């Protein structure tokens, strides 16, 4: 049986333009290096061992919520700078769509409105500036997922 590995080029972050209908574009600025992280937040209950005080007990975990973080990095494109500075200063959210995989092999998407959490510019002397961002969802309960088509 062959394995259908997902190439890094098949993780694409797209930013919505807010129009109706909304158009999503994938800026190079955040698609050189990118990640999507999903984290379960738990409540825990420790249960003592029923017959021995010296034997470790067990821990029951219950998922309270799921959180998402999207991050991206790339070379700074000067035309994008004003848009990202305005976004972080405004506190506004933008619709983001993370597409994972392709349309023929079970690819999926994650989409929701995200706040721009961090916007960082770095770079060594006489190089092109690098930019890295992280995004956090406005409402994790509103996250949609589905198959790419």
Q: Return per-residue pLDDT of the chain as tens, 149 residues.
A: 677 777 777 888 999 999 999 999 888 777 788 899 999 999 999 999 999 999 999 999 999 999 999 999 988 888 889 999 999 999 999 999 999 887 767 789 999 999 999 999 999 899 988 999 999 999 998 999 988 87
Residues 6 or more apart in contact with residue 107 via CB below 8 angstroms: 10, 99, 100, 101, 147, 148
Reduce the DSSP state of residue 85 to 3 states and report it: helix
The pair phi, psi for residue 84, each rounded to 5°, is -70, -35
pLDDT of 96 reads 94
List the structure tokens of 76. 């700074």
pLDDT of 138 reads 96
pLDDT of 148 reads 87
| CB contact at 8 A, 113 and 139 | yes
What single DSSP character describes residue 50?
S
């Amino acid at each position: 049986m062959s394995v259908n590995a997902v190439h890094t080029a098949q993780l694409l972050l797209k930013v919505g333009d807010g129009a109706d209908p909304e158009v999503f574009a994938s800026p190079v600025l955040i698609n050189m290096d990118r990640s999507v992280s999903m984290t379960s937040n738990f409540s825990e209950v420790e249960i003592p061992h029923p017959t021995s005080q010296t034997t470790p007990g067990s821990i029951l975990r219950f998922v309270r919520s799921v959180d998402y973080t999207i991050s991206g990095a790339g070379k700074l494109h000067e035309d994008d700078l004003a848009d990202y500075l305005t976004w972080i200063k405004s506190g506004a959210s933008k619709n983001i769509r993370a597409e994972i995989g392709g349309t023929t092999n079970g690819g999926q998407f994650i989409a929701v409105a995200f706040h721009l959490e961090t916007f960082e510019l770095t770079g060594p002397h006489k190089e092109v500036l690098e930019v890295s961002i992280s995004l956090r969802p406005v409402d994790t309960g509103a996250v949609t997922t589905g198959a790419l088509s």
